[in-house]
Amino acid sequence: MFKWKRTSSQKKQDKSEKKLADILEAANRSADFTSFSPLDNSRITISCYTTLIDEKMLHRVLLPAIQKNSDSLSDLTDLKNIIPLEGIEITEDTSEAEKKLNQGHAILQLKGGGKFALINIDNPMKGVRQNNKTDNEFSVIGPKLGFIENLDTNLHLLRRQLGTTDLVVEEHEVGSMSKTRVAIVYLNGITNPEFVQTARERVKNVDFEVIHDNTIVEQLISDNTSTPFPPFLSTERVDKAAHSLILGQIVILAEGSCYAITAPVSIIEFFNSPEDYYLSWFQGSFFRMIRFFGVSFSVFATPIYVAVLTFHYEIIPEDLLGPIIFSRANVPFPPFLEVLFLEITIELLREAGARLPSKIGQTLGIVGGIVIGQATVEAALTSNILLIIVALAALSSFTTPIYKMSNTIRLLRFPFIFLAAIWGGYGLAVGVVLLLGHLLRLKSLGIPYMVPLFPFRAAGMGDAFIRLPYYKTNKRPSYLRTQKDKRFSPSENNNREKDINTE
């Protein structure tokens, strides 16, 4: 016998034909659901979740308007003239009613009618924090304004920064259960349409149940998920997201997330701080180079220590050989185990400090570092020199402005330690080659991750390792292939010939 199977279109039709009474009956199992009549004759029924709606709007706007004009209410279309609220929708679509009910809408029914009204009395700011300081991307100079967990507020902040009608916002619903609002923001006439189309298709094709944070969207739309490097740049700063839009990048925001995703990006951008652009170009370039040095030192300091003391004693200077022998005279472990013990101890302290409350975490990090470091040296479990190197490497990893890239730097250190313990300097060389090969294969929204280094773009180096003056960085990055290359004309904006001569 043939077994009849429903097609996907028939399943969707069955879902749309779900009766409203069944939806309300299922919702009535929850204690926070209510269904009542504002009139004595029970001609009108209002159903909603009390934990999602704005109760002041319900009792001060919706109910008084219905009770006052109940005699003139003969059809649902009259609600738009009676109730002073926007977003009133008259429909028969029960699937739309189920979705809107879970988003803070009230369902209004007339007795004996087939249609019903969906009235938006949602309170989007309920339970959302009002403090939007940039605690995780703090800068001494510059604005301290950051995103919060409300999408409309975040879009408002972006529009306040960029007062132009070319700022386009596309909204999509992601999550089969959560129906989370995800916005793709870009500048029309500047951003490459190919990037917008690619981001649009990837967001639409996301198949996930609940989107808790924008970082989930980042992982689901990334080019490569088998990499420790972040595919896109996440930021909580409004000025940084606005700067990315001006350059021609795309910004992705999600409801319930205080972080914005910018794409496409190169690896160089993860080491740029917003403060670089608020200082003079001399100071900004200096601090940026300090960060690049700190990242290199954090990754290679302890692996080089293991390689040198295990295989390459001959490269140690004579003046330094004595202190090293003296510090390791009573250490019973080889350099590999010695380094591994200290590195894991530092990571444990860092994780414990991050998970505890801020005051206790700071105390634990300081006291724990001092006590454990001093105790391990006195117990001859490690040497003084290695303790200094590990501490400096840990400090260097914190110079990275982006937290996700900082985690990547911490993770990369361990494979290099193992390679140095196995093959010494040759192991470090093999690790560098493998790392570069991996980076050269990575892409961010279809753009090479290593650009402007590879493929080499000389025009993009002006804002890479150093920050040139503004009048020399008036062009947008060439790898973004923007529709407008120039941001401003320095010959017009910096014409000093028009200055008043006071001589």
Which residues in 99-108 are b (16+ Cβ under 10 Å) and which e?
Answer: ebbebbbbbb
Q: Is the pLDDT of residue 499 over 80?
A: no
Burial of 7 (0-12, 13-18, 19+ CB in 10 A): exposed
Two tokens at 360?
A: 């206790």
pLDDT at 471: 84
Q: Is the pLDDT of residue 278 over 70?
A: yes
pLDDT at 3: 36
Domain boundaries, the chain: 15-120, 151-265, 280-448, 458-493
Q: Is the pLDDT of residue 201 over 50?
A: yes
> Tens of pLDDT along 244-254?
999 999 999 99
Q: Is the pLDDT of residue 7 over 50?
A: no
Q: Is the pLDDT of residue 73 over 90?
A: no
Rounded distance between C-alpha atoms, residue 117 and residue 205, angstroms: 31
Two tokens at 173?
A: 């619903």
Q: Is the pLDDT of residue 501 over 60?
A: no
Closest of 403, 150, 425 to residue 270, by C-alpha: 403
Rounded distance between C-alpha atoms, residue 169 and residue 185, angstroms: 5
Rounded distance between C-alpha atoms, residue 210 and residue 102, angstroms: 13
Closest of 309, 304, 343, 336 to residue 421, by C-alpha: 336
Tell me the pLDDT band of 4, cut-offs 50, 70 and 90: very low
Q: Is the pLDDT of residue 122 over 80?
A: yes
Q: Is the pLDDT of residue 299 over 90?
A: yes
Two tokens at 451?
A: 């650009």
> Tens of pLDDT along 352-369?
777 777 666 666 666 677
> Tens of pLDDT along 25-49?
999 999 999 999 888 777 889 999 9
pLDDT at 192: 95
pLDDT at 230: 94
Q: pLDDT exceeding 70 applies to what percent of the chain?
A: 92
Q: Is the pLDDT of residue 187 over 50?
A: yes
Q: Is the pLDDT of residue 241 over 60?
A: yes
> Are 76 and 66 a contacting pair, CB within 8 Å?
no
Rounded distance between C-alpha atoms, residue 24 and residue 367, angstroms: 57
Tell me the pLDDT band of 15, cut-offs 50, 70 and 90: very low
Rounded distance between C-alpha atoms, residue 357 and residue 362, angstroms: 9
- pTM of the predicted model, to two decimals? 0.85
